[in-house]
């Protein structure tokens, strides 16, 4: 079997795991009111597309799809090295995209300044976690499988 489809499948699996881990941290954080955002960005984006009042699971599905996609892109892009530096670069790029694309779509203004300047560092924290989890899961799940098989 061609190695590229295996890498893609492993990347998708890693992405699902990464999205689940991030959700296990971010959902309780939002329930506790820790992030400075008015609501989870993925839920706000889904509501911008489909209308207000969507339940949290819709936002979680958007989040899981987004994280899974970008995690798989990273695995395919950086395989077999799977470096922390490339995970951090991807996370930084996605943080900027959140600030200049998704926050305005969500109605929060450029950089989230329509809500608060605190959204800028507030959005950095989950993106940093994304990078660390991405790299760690890549080392744990993909490098181990590569060495075993």
* Token pair in block for residue 79: 């395989």
Instruction: Tell me the pLDDT band of 2, cut-offs 50, 70 and 90.
Output: very low
CA–CA separation, 91 vs 78, rounded Å?
Answer: 14
Query: Residues with Cβ < 8 Å from 99, sequence gap 6 or more?
Result: 110, 111, 112, 119, 120, 123
Tally of CB atoms within 10 A around 46: 20
| pLDDT single digits (tens) 18-76 | 999 999 999 999 999 999 999 999 999 999 999 999 999 999 999 999 999 999 999 99
Give the Cβ contact number of residue 107 at 10 Å: 12
Q: Is the pLDDT of residue 3 over 90?
A: no
Token readout for 144 is 């181990």
pLDDT at 144 over 80: no
Domain count of the fold of the chain = 1
Round to whole Å and give the CA distance between 55 and 136: 31
pTM recorded for the entire structure: 0.91
Return mean pLDDT, the chain: 93
Contact assessment for residue 19 and residue 64, using Cβ atoms and an 8 Å cutoff: yes
CA distance 147 to 18: 21
SS3 (DSSP) at 82: coil
pLDDT class for 1, splitting at 50, 70, 90?
Answer: very low
Domain of residue 43, residue span: 3-148
Please state the rounded mean pLDDT for residues 113-134: 97
């Amino acid at each position: 079997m061609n190695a590229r489809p295996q890498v893609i499948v492993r990347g998708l699996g890693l992405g699902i795991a990464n999205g689940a881990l991030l959700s296990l941290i971010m959902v309780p954080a939002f329930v506790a009111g820790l992030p400075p955002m008015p609501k989870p960005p993925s839920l706000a984006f889904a509501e911008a597309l489909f209308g207000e009042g969507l339940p949290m699971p819709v936002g979680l599905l958007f989040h899981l799809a987004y994280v899974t996609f970008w995690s798989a892109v990273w695995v395919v892009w950086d395989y077999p090295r799977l470096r922390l530096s490339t995970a951090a670069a991807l996370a930084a790029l996605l943080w900027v995209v959140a600030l200049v694309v998704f926050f305005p779509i969500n109605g929060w203004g450029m950089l989230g300044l329509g809500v608060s300047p605190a959204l800028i560092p507030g959005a950095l924290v989950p993106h940093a976690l994304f990078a660390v989890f991405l790299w760690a899961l890549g080392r744990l799940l993909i490098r181990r499988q590569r060495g075993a098989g």
